[in-house]
């Protein structure tokens, strides 16, 4: 049986410190993210979802209303996308000319785009995610609650994501979500990853 696997972290656990410390990543990646993988494999065993790609499980379980399967599958996909949306300070921080042109056309400036993303991340009530996506020829910022994801929505291409579940920042920042978001947006977004996603 082909199981869904936990994708490797794209850097060492301490690579994002002090914004996201190794302690946070050890729980967030090693317990939360890994837990969704284990739970999903248990839920899909013996069902029509067994053997499907993770992306297909997300899309088909959403349509079918299989909520537990959708929540765990989407959380796995969102977390894998989140780890790749982050980078060590000063690394991969330059958008491609193509992405920068799209950012300027949609937001007016790179700083305005980052501010919009940070604002969505801070304002998401409760658990969820803040996304930069390409949609109908322009870039927009969105946020989704809980496990919800833009993956599989027609015409929408996710470029970057910030996790704003408390488990993403509470050990390092306690309740100061805005400070965590600012530190991520100012120094740890992987704009090279985003540039690849817009193609
Ligand atoms: Mn998370």
* d(CA 101, ligand 1 centre) in Å: 31
How much helix, strand and coil, in percent to the nearest 5, is found in the chain?
Answer: 50, 15, 35
* d(CA 160, ligand 1 centre) in Å: 14
* d(CA 148, ligand 1 centre) in Å: 12
Is the separation of the CB atoms in 139 and 158 below 8 Å?
Answer: no
37-46 pLDDT, tens digit per residue, is 999 999 999 9
Going along the chain from its start, the domains and CATH numbers come out as: 22-85 (1.10.287.990), 90-197 (3.55.40.20)
Q: Which token pair is 10?
A: 């794209």
Taking alpha carbons only, the member of 77, 90, 39, 91 closest to residue 158 is: 77
Burial code (b: 16+ CB inside 10 Å, e: under 16) for 76-115 equals: bbbbbbbbbbbbbeeebeebeeebbebbeebbeeeeebbe
For residue 94, what is the DSSP state? -
81-131 pLDDT, tens digit per residue, is 999 999 998 899 999 999 999 999 999 999 999 999 999 999 999 999 999
Count the neighbouring beta carbons within 10 Å of the beta carbon of residue 1.
8
Q: How confident is the model at residue 199, as a pLDDT?
A: 81
* d(CA 97, ligand 1 centre) in Å: 31
What pTM did the predictor assign? 0.97
Find all residues with CB under 8 Å of 140, minimum gap 6, and list them: 106, 132, 133
């Amino acid at each position: 049986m082909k199981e869904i696997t936990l994708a490797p972290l794209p850097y060492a656990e301490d690579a994002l410190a002090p914004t996201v410390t190794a302690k946070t990543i050890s729980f967030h990646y090693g317990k939360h993210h890994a837990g969704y993988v284990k739970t999903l494999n248990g839920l899909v065993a013996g069902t029509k979802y067994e053997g499907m790609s993770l992306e297909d499980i997300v899309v088909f379980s959403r349509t079918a209303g299989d909520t537990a399967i959708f929540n765990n599958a989407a959380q796995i996909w969102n977390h894998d996308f989140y780890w790749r949306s982050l980078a060590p300070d000063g690394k991969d921080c330059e958008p491609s000319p193509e992405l920068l042109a799209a950012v300027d056309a949609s937001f007016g400036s790179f700083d305005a785009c980052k501010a919009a993303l940070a604002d969505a991340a801070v304002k998401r009530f409760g658990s969820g995610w803040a996304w930069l996506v390409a949609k109908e020829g322009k870039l927009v910022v969105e946020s989704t609650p809980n496990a919800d994801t833009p993956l599989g929505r027609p015409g929408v291409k996710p470029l970057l994501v910030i996790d704003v579940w408390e488990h993403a920042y509470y050990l390092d920042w306690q309740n100061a979500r805005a400070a965590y978001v600012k530190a991520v947006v100012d120094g740890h977004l992987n704009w090279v990853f985003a540039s690849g996603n817009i193609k």
